[in-house]
Structure 1
Amino acid sequence: MVSRLPPPEDGSSARPQRTTSAIVLGLVLAVTVGFWWFSGPDADPGSTAVDTSSSTPAAVPSEEPSEDPSTDTDEPSAEPSAEPSSTTPPSIDPESGLPTVYLLDLPPEAAETVELIDRGPPYPYDKDGSTFGNYEGFLPDHERGYYQEFTVETPGSYDRGARRIVEGAEGELYWTDDHYASFSRIWL
């Protein structure tokens, strides 16, 4: 048995209120599903998607020289230079494509080896200063003899260990702590 509600006293039907509620619920559901769809099912539930298509672009400074000679100065510009800063290495070395690492972030024995390289022979190990062939192909291609390898002592190791610094003929330095399985460009 279906019970019917009595019609409202104002004479209007109760059906429009249910229809309106159903429409609002449907819109809320559609907005929620749409948001989920556009942010992706793998999106972080705490993050929100932002529609930037209708935003106004930020003002872009003009590249043209100033017409007013009083504003032209010989002072250096504040624009970033194309050259990397000597204080902040890029995360990837543009020449080799290898990750970069500060010398100060390496074990202290690496800095000692760099001092030995700068000082020159004699070196503590017979293989130090010998040609590194780059057979693994991780370093930039150069003629044979371009690279030299140097041992970085490993405390407690009974042999030379796996740590090396490889120097290029132009003074660039590369670090490996896994006997040439991977390299990083050393940033001094």
Structure 2
Amino acid sequence: MFPQNDEKVPRVRFANFKNEWEQRKLGSLATIVRGASPRPIQDPKWFDNESDIGWLRITDVTEQDGRIYHLEQHISKLGQAKTRVLIEPHLLLSIAATVGKPVVNYVKTGVHDGFLIFLSPTFEREFMFQWLEMFRPKWQKYGQPGSQVNLNSELVRNQEIVLPNHKEQQKIGVFLKQIDKAIILHKSKLDKLISLKKVLLQKMFI
């Protein structure tokens, strides 16, 4: 990403930005804490369909590609006392199953212990979401060959990142999110075309 002379300036950037990027540890940019889970998790008393607090699961993350706009399962008042509840959107990081996947909750969310939460961040959330998505395969360096990666809060806190000032972070985040939206739109069109073709094939080749 950066030139070989060790200058912290990316090869490609928006015009009017000149300053070098700064190397920091993730733990210096936010308070990173782990979610919490009521036990045993199968106990129905922890859940309530009438609750306005959703319960985030790995399946929600994979189905919505990390941007959480709805949650099917909801956590009860009892369950809320045993987890971490987020009322506003926050950046999260999956450390179990789908390891290293960044997540943003856009709904009220109970966060279990398979996620880390970035509290009181000093970074632009969308920039960091995109950076974590880029960095995701590199978490594998913390795993043993042939075994599942085991991330913990200390490893994440100590991970170094090179990042620009807030204005450039914001510019990059907005730009990359627009690309994500375009990808989703084209995928939707492609899915519709595939479905249309299947219907036509069924009707034309009977």
Question: TM-score, normalized by length of structure 1?
Answer: 0.22
Question: TM-score, normalized by length of structure 2?
Answer: 0.21
The structure whose residues are more often strand, as a share, is 2
Higher relative contact order (CA 8 A, sep 6+): 2
> Which of 1 and 2 has greater Rg?
1
